[in-house]
């Protein structure tokens, strides 16, 4: 991918995916990889930070003799997603105006 994904955009993507359903790290990485370039080594610090910021909670589910850690969006995380959506709409409109020409819509 030509454009890099900054921390805020990565947070918005992670929270948006978790808004649909709880997920464990590998599953979340695979879902995100459908749209952006990301590795598990990049994702786990983001998950820890979002959990520390109380945007996510985590719980373990036994699976094949060990635990899988699932992440779930919190009420604070839901509020963050709403803010990110508004900011993204404005940002996308402005960049479209610059790159595609004409006035931003």
pLDDT tens, residue by residue, 17-40: 999 999 999 999 999 999 998 888
CA dist 77 and 72 (Å) reads: 9
Q: Is 105 among the domain residues?
A: no
Q: Is 29 among the domain residues?
A: yes
CA dist 90 and 74 (Å) reads: 25
Out of 6-10, 19-23, 83-87, least confident range: 6-10
User: Which of 4, 81, 21 has the alpha carbon at shortest distance from 50?
Assistant: 81
Structural domain span for residue 68: 7-100
pLDDT band at 2 (very low <50, low <70, confident <90, very high): low
For the record, the structure tokens of 88 come out as: 């993204």
CA dist 28 and 84 (Å) reads: 19
pTM of the entire structure?
Answer: 0.85
Q: Is 76 among the domain residues?
A: yes
Q: Is 1 among the domain residues?
A: no
Give me the CATH number covering residue 95: 1.10.10.10
pLDDT tens, residue by residue, 44-58: 999 999 999 999 999
- Average predicted confidence (pLDDT) for the chain: 91
pLDDT of residue 25: 93
Phi, psi of 57 (to 5 degrees): -125, 160
Q: Look at the chain and report how many structural domains it folds into.
A: 1
């Amino acid at each position: 991918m030509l454009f890099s994904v900054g921390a805020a955009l990565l947070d918005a993507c992670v929270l948006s995916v978790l808004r649909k359903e709880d997920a464990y790290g590998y599953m979340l990485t695979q879902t995100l990889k459908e749209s952006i370039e990301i590795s598990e080594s990049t994702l786990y610090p983001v998950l820890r930070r979002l959990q520390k910021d109380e945007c996510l909670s985590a719980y373990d589910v036994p699976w094949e003799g060990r635990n899988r850690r699932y992440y779930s969006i919190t009420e604070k995380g839901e509020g963050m997603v709403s803010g990110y959506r508004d900011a993204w709409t404005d940002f996308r409109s402005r960049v479209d105006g610059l790159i595609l020409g004409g006035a931003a819509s």
